[in-house]
């Protein structure tokens, strides 16, 4: 009976690797069911703050991931395998093609695995710390078609580098750049700090909402470009910009939202913790000929504290924090800064609900929430929320006081 059940569910799942891989939690639902599930989740968590619009799904929810990462290793018979780490363990599940990953990227990874024996390239063996190739990371610009291959190796000594690169380019002329990344540490992180460009410019570019963005091996870029356009246009549309506003893009990454909004605002300030991302943001501004954006590498909360101290009040704040949501420092300084409009882009409705509680007590009203499906087949759900400041200054004191006692578990104190 147990066996039968297993077989049935195996047949029913669209991906043959689903059970072992665990990356797509909603494999047991068809796409309309997934959308309904996500929309309900957002309604359940966010509905009490204000109106939730119907979720925007994808027309074709397949092969949307523009960034594909494969781990390389050896199986029990010491044959080279490549695939994904099983979510419950650290074992590699061999995967050659995945229903959500870019198909070109998957093909390049299989080609590299096939080339390895003839180039005497060894896969890295985690148990002994020997071997060479640990991961292959492929990023593709969906609009430009540019392809970057990052070979993550345990050592900088790449013996047959030139003929290997030549052969790979022969087999995949669509590749525009190849980078060797050296990761010689015992770490779960895929990429190491050192890099060497083996071919091309060392980065690719993609176009999003009419602006060009540079994507380097380590910089953050949304992984579903089709839905990112939906997400960003929704967010910028909610801000109702007229060209006269000062906008703050908090957690700005490589400046995507700031640069896309720049044409509709007087000026945009971007703040981001990661220095590499800020460097990319400045390069992106230059590349697009944008002259009304300024980027700063800093903690977003501290930056806003400074703004508040100098009585610089932006008209709109976009905030796009990581999955853990915002933190107490940020929310406290946002309430102090008190911009008339806040557009919160969230990739986790649980932390969004927690943060909304605080913003609502601080006098913000949820005008609209728009769920956008950025990650079909997985349980992740993105939501854009439009908040505006009502005339409730009298409640501000009480709020700032209650923030001190707030349970901000999961955030930095």
Q: Which residues have a catalytic role annotated? A: 347
Q: Which neighbouring-strand residues pair with 21?
A: none
The dihedral of CA 156, 160, 165, 171: what is its sign? Answer: negative
Cα angle 298-299-305, degrees, rounded to a multiple of 5: 100
Stretch that binds ligand SAH, among 18-26, 246-254, 261-269, 356-364 (CB under 6 A): 246-254
Stretch that binds ligand SAH, among 158-166, 170-178, 269-277, 383-391 (CB under 6 A): 269-277
Identify the burial level of 212 via C-beta atoms within 10 angstroms of its C-beta, where 0-12 means exposed, 13-18 middle and 19 or more buried: middle
Q: Does 349 bind ligand SAH (CB under 6 A)?
A: no
Q: Which neighbouring-strand residues pair with 149?
A: 138, 178
Q: Does 273 bind ligand SAH (CB under 6 A)?
A: yes
CB-CB contact of 222 with 254 (8 Å): no
CB-CB contact of 93 with 83 (8 Å): yes
Shortest spacing between CB 258 and ligand SAH, in angstroms: 8
Q: Which residue's CB is nearer to ligand SAH, number 183 or number 411? A: 411
Stretch that binds ligand SAH, among 107-115, 204-212, 268-276, 355-363 (CB under 6 A): 268-276
What is the C-alpha separation between 278 and 300, in angstroms, rounded? 13
Residue nearest to ligand SAH (CB): 253
Shortest spacing between CB 86 and ligand SAH, in angstroms: 26
Shortest spacing between CB 318 and ligand SAH, in angstroms: 8
Give 163's contacts (C-beta < 8 A, 6+ positions apart). 119
Beta-sheet pairing, 382-389 with 364-372: antiparallel
Q: Does 274 bind ligand SAH (CB under 6 A)?
A: yes
Dihedral (Cα; 101, 105, 109, 114), 10-degree rounding:
120
Among 133, 136, 252, 399, binds ligand SAH (CB under 6 A): 252
Q: Does 251 bind ligand SAH (CB under 6 A)?
A: yes
Residues in the chain: 413
Q: Which residue's CB is nearer to ligand SAH, number 39 or number 320? A: 320
Q: Which residue's CB is nearer to ligand SAH, number 10 or number 286? A: 286
Kindly list the residues in this chain that would bind ligand SAH in the complex (CB under 6 A): 220, 222, 251-253, 256-257, 271-274, 277, 299-300, 320-322
């Amino acid at each position: 009976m147990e066996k039968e059940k297993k077989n049935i569910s195996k047949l029913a799942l669209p991906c043959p690797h689903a059970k072992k891989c665990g990356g797509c939690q909603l494999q047991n639902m068809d796409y309309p069911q997934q959308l309904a599930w996500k929309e309900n989740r957002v309604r359940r968590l966010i509905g009490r703050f204000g109106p939730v619009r119907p979720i925007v799904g994808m027309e074709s929810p397949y092969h949307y991931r523009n960034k594909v990462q494969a781990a390389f290793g050896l199986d029990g018979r010491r044959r080279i395998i490549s695939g994904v780490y099983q979510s419950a363990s650290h074992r590699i599940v061999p995967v050659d093609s995945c229903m959500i990953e870019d198909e070109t990227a998957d093909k390049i990874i299989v080609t590299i695995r096939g080339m390895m024996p003839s180039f005497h390239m060894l896969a890295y063996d985690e148990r002994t710390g020997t071997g060479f190739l640990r991961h292959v990371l492929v990023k593709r610009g969906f609009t430009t078609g540019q392809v970057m291959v990052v070979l993550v190796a345990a050592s900088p000594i790449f013996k047959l580098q030139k003929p290997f690169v030549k052969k790979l380019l022969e087999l995949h002329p669509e590749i525009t750049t190849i980078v060797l990344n050296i990761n010689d540490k015992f770490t779960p992180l895929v990429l190491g700090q050192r890099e060497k460009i083996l071919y091309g410019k060392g980065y690719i570019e993609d176009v999003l909402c009419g602006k060009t963005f540079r994507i380097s091996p380590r910089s953050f870029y949304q992984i579903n470009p089709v839905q990112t356009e939906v997400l960003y246009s929704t967010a910028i549309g909610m801000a109702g910009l007229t060209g006269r506003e000062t906008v703050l893009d908090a957690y700005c990454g490589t400046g995507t939202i700031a640069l896309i909004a720049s044409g509709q605002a007087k000026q945009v300030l971007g703040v981001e913790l990661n220095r590499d991302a800020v460097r990319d943001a400045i390069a992106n501004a230059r590349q697009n000929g944008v002259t009304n954006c300024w980027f700063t590498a800093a903690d977003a909360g501290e930056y806003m504290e400074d703004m508040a101290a100098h009585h610089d009040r932006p008209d709109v704040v976009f905030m796009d924090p990581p999955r853990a949501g915002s933190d107490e420092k940020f929310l406290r300084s946002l309430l102090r800064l008190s911009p008339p409009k806040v557009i919160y882009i969230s990739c986790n409705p649980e932390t969004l609900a927690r943060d909304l509680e605080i913003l609502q007590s601080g006098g913000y009203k949820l005008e609209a929430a728009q769920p956008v499906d950025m990650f079909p087949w997985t349980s992740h759900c993105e939501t854009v929320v439009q908040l505006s400041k009502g005339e409730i200054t009298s409640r501000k004191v009480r709020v700032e006081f209650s923030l001190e006692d707030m349970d901000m578990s999961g955030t930095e104190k």
